[in-house]
Chain A
Amino acid sequence: MTVKVEVKEGGMPHNQILATGLIGSLVGIYITYLNNILGTDLLAFFGGIAATLALYWGSHTIKRLASYGIGTGVPSAGMIAFGSGVIGFLFATRFAIGGGILVPIIAVIAAAVIGAVAGVMANTILKMHIPVMVSALIEMSIVGALTLMGLSALVTGSFTFDALVTSRISFFGMELTTYESSLIGGSIIAVLFLLGGIAIQHPFNACLGPSWEQDRMLMLALECGFLSMIPAAVISFAFISMAAATISFVVAIVGWFYTYYRYIELARRDAAFWLDAKPIKEPEAGH
């Protein structure tokens, strides 16, 4: 006997969350694009905001999909999201026209195609017949691609393939381009993959139960996003200027602290009792 995932509808409609996540995330990524034009990397932290908003959306999509009881755990949904998202994302980064202005759009389209194929396979050939399966896998795959793009922009200040496979080191005053200490050459992409892969499914996985509340789960999604930003910002010290990485780090810490605090408040609001060092409170007879 295992725990049944209960269906409970929240206040905010899913489409509104989808729009907030998709548009907010794209806007954040395009703000990091301004780095190219302004010749700076100080805007890198907007990549982290973009990733956080994408995860906010993705967590609610997972909730919608998991309500149908897909037979396997919530974590696997996060894994398929990022497994397909990483392919769409890296494919798109190669479109370097105009400094990569098309990259985010192409990433969304490529990820949507991969997610759609996986969803159609699951529904038709694997005979799952879950109404939201195709749309959910499309959404999660896009979330995966946008989260990875946001975090990559946070770490390197850019999201084009060239920026992800090269890094500049100064060697006795000379600027050298190397490949092995880049985001992809050093496999930092593997870290970002799992940071996102856990963060997307944790909000629902941690909040499931009969007293699930939408605002609490979404607050946790934001918390997971900012929490993922912290190590990404630390890693970014190896890639971008000290000032830019410090800004990312401070934004991540402040955002994380605020959302964590708010999440604890919401948990306190929803909990049956909030006790410190008290014995087991047996339910009253005949409840």
Chain B
Amino acid sequence: MVDQIVFGIGITALAGALATVAGAAEDTESDIGSQGDPNSQVQLAPQMGYIHRIFNKAIAGEPPAYGLWVALGAGVAWALMAMQVNAVLAIILGSALAVFVQGIYATTAYLGRIASLAKFGQPVYIDIIKSMTTVTMAHAFVAVFTTVTVCYLINVALGHPFPLPLLGLVWGIALGAAGSATGNPFYGKERQYQSQKFGAGVPIAASGNIVRYAEAGERNSLDNGWFSSKLGGPASGVCFGLIVFFELWRTVIFEEIANGWGAVIVGILVILIFAVIDRYIEIWARKTYGPYGKPEEAA
């Protein structure tokens, strides 16, 4: 009994750690490719007369795209395991095939989007595809491999009823949702609009005027990956890691209490704690940063 709980805690911690790596890699990957919502600015810039050398990897929404990569990795791994291939090798091969598909999607998205911008004189830069697709594929491999491994642990070691590919779908979409929610604003505001004032949102009038030149030479998406791996990536990793950890932890440890209600009550407590932290930093920011102007008189 105690052994089982200790084992469960170990698996939970490992899954949380793997998920943290996954989240960080996922966000860095999507920022290098300008996937997700910041992509709208990369798409808009040439229209405003700002020709750039940024990767425009518009693949679906980030959550379903990651749902596909992870479910695909999990599905191929499942099929290989059904053919008696060892689990570790199966997960690696499955992730590799998923990343191949991801890389092809990345190139067709860039070519398609840029070719459709011909009217504004935005050239297709072939070297962007050559140098950046491989980097996003490497990051995607880290994200997919770790998430499929989390799913495998949940299925085999913790006994969740969903088969591996369905877990891949669920956690892939959750990974994309967490990464795009957390990391995207950091890339979208802080990096793309580095020339705008710090400590304020980007005025709508500035849309499309993204930073296109770097410290030396011209900015490309690898510079953006370097930047967002400082905060956006790790924060996304913490986000996804906490989600996986708390979902598993509350069930593994407290499900025995009161026929399952223990896990529910602990979950509610955790939600309340996060809400209090959120409220605290909200007030802290209001006090510390101060208002931009005067409050509107109540009409």
Q: A25 to B133, alpha carbons, bound, how many Å?
A: 33
User: Once the chains bind, are B64 and A278 in contact (CB under 8 Å)?
Assistant: no
Report the minimum CB–CB distance from B209 to chain A (whole Å).
11
User: Once the chains bind, are A3 and B44 in contact (CB under 8 Å)?
Assistant: yes
Query: Which of the segments A92-100, A105-113, A124-132, A187-195 contacts the partner chain?
Result: A187-195
For the complex, is A60 an interface residue (Cβ under 8 Å from B)? no
Contacts between the two chains (Cβ within 8 Å), count: 211
Q: With contacts A191-B71, A238-B83, A276-B126 known, is A206 near B109, CB below 8 A?
A: yes
Chain B 256-272 against A: per-residue CB contact (8 Å), 1 yes, 0 no?
00000000000000000
Report the minimum CB–CB distance from B213 to chain A (whole Å).
8
- Contacting B at CB under 8 A, from A85-144, are none
User: Once the chains bind, are B112 and A211 in contact (CB under 8 Å)?
Assistant: no
Report the minimum CB–CB distance from B295 to chain A (whole Å).
28
Q: A232 to B282, alpha carbons, bound, how many Å?
A: 48
User: Once the chains bind, are B72 and A191 in contact (CB under 8 Å)?
Assistant: yes
Closest A residue to B104 by beta carbon equals A227
Report the minimum CB–CB distance from A136 to chain B (whole Å).
18
User: Once the chains bind, are A79 and B218 in contact (CB under 8 Å)?
Assistant: no
Query: Which of the segments B162-170, B233-241, B284-292 contacts the partner chain?
Result: B162-170
Q: A178 to B212, alpha carbons, bound, how many Å?
A: 58
Report the minimum CB–CB distance from B104 to chain A (whole Å).
6
Q: A82 to B53, alpha carbons, bound, how many Å?
A: 35
User: Once the chains bind, are B98 and A231 in contact (CB under 8 Å)?
Assistant: yes
For the complex, is B75 an interface residue (Cβ under 8 Å from A)? yes
User: Once the chains bind, are A194 and B68 in contact (CB under 8 Å)?
Assistant: yes
User: Once the chains bind, are A198 and B60 in contact (CB under 8 Å)?
Assistant: yes
User: Once the chains bind, are A231 and B75 in contact (CB under 8 Å)?
Assistant: yes
For the complex, is B120 an interface residue (Cβ under 8 Å from A)? yes
User: Once the chains bind, are B68 and A195 in contact (CB under 8 Å)?
Assistant: yes
- Contacting A at CB under 8 A, from B65-114, are 65, 67-68, 71-72, 74-76, 78-80, 82-83, 97-98, 100-101, 104-105, 108-109, 111-114
Q: A195 to B208, alpha carbons, bound, how many Å?
A: 32
For the complex, is A24 an interface residue (Cβ under 8 Å from B)? no
User: Once the chains bind, are A271 and B83 in contact (CB under 8 Å)?
Assistant: no
Q: A261 to B269, alpha carbons, bound, how many Å?
A: 55
User: Once the chains bind, are A231 and B101 in contact (CB under 8 Å)?
Assistant: yes
Q: A195 to B73, alpha carbons, bound, how many Å?
A: 12
User: Once the chains bind, are B64 and A79 in contact (CB under 8 Å)?
Assistant: yes
For the complex, is B40 an interface residue (Cβ under 8 Å from A)? yes
For the complex, is B185 an interface residue (Cβ under 8 Å from A)? no
- Contacting B at CB under 8 A, from A203-261, are 203, 205-213, 216-217, 220, 223-224, 227, 230-231, 234-235, 237-239, 260
Residue picked from B58, B113, B117, B118, most chain A C-beta under 10 Å? B118
The residues of B that contact A238 with a CB separation of less than 8 Å are: 79-80, 82-83
For the complex, is A274 an interface residue (Cβ under 8 Å from B)? yes
Q: A280 to B76, alpha carbons, bound, how many Å?
A: 41
The residues of A that contact B101 with a CB separation of less than 8 Å are: 227, 230-231
Starting from the known contacts A191-B168, A194-B172, A207-B115, 5 additional A-B residue pairs (CB-CB under 8 Å) come to A197-B68, A211-B115, A211-B118, A272-B122, A279-B218
A-B contacts, 13 of them at CB < 8 A, read: A3-B43, A74-B60, A186-B82, A188-B79, A190-B75, A206-B58, A206-B112, A223-B108, A230-B97, A234-B76, A267-B112, A275-B126, A283-B49
